[in-house]
Structure formats: C-alpha cells, structure tokens
Amino acid sequence: MPFLVFLIILSASFYIYYKIKYFRSKRPLERKLLSGKSSMALGLFVALFGLNQLFLFSTTTTYVVAAVFILLGCASAWVGFKSFRHHIPYVKEEAKHFDGQTR
C-alpha cells in the first residue's frame, strides 16, 4: 500500500519536526503543547505501521503484533491529542506574557 507508506513517512517527518521545535522552544507551556503534537504524530506513525503490516504479511504473529501496534499507536495519539487540547489556552496566555516582556 503506497498510500500507507506515504502517510507513515509523513507522520515520522512531523514527529521529527515537532521534536526539533520542542528542543528549540524556551517557553515551558509551549514545550508541553509541542510534546502533545509530537505524541500524536508518533502514535499515528506506530498505528499506521501496524496497519501496513496487516497488508504485507498474513501470519498469526503478524496479526497479534499489528494489533498491539495499532492499539498502542491509537492510545498514544489520543493522549497526545488530549494534552494538546488541554494546553492550548495556557499557551495563548503564555505567548501574551512573553510578548509583553520582550517589548
């Protein structure tokens, strides 16, 4: 499935992008927001990888491992999404505070 491979590479790229932004950020709450985004990207990567394995191989072991990958990936993406949604208003306030200090 070339489409799944494209999505796997895209989600891995977003994970690396958000991790780089995380390490370059100085604001603590913005770092938590970026951590949530990177968790979503990593979860999507793992879930899509497990889904792709279902199409490549057809053994019982593959089904079990793919199910574990899909469940862990979806759980990681869900927790990252909840963290992201929780921190959005605080990051906006933090940005106002930091912008006010620098001027």
Q: What is the pLDDT of residues 74-83, one digit of tens each?
A: 999 999 999 9
Phi-psi region of 77 (alpha: psi -120 to 50; beta: other; left: phi over 0): alpha
pLDDT digits (tens, 9 = 90+) for 43-75: 999 999 999 999 998 899 999 999 999 999 999
Whole-angstrom distance, CA of residue 94 vs CA of residue 98: 6
Query: CA–CA distance from 58 to each of 3, 54, 63 (Å)?
Result: 19, 7, 7
CA 9, 10, 11, 14 torsion-angle sign: positive
Say what the pTM is.
0.86
Q: How does DSSP classify residue 27?
A: -
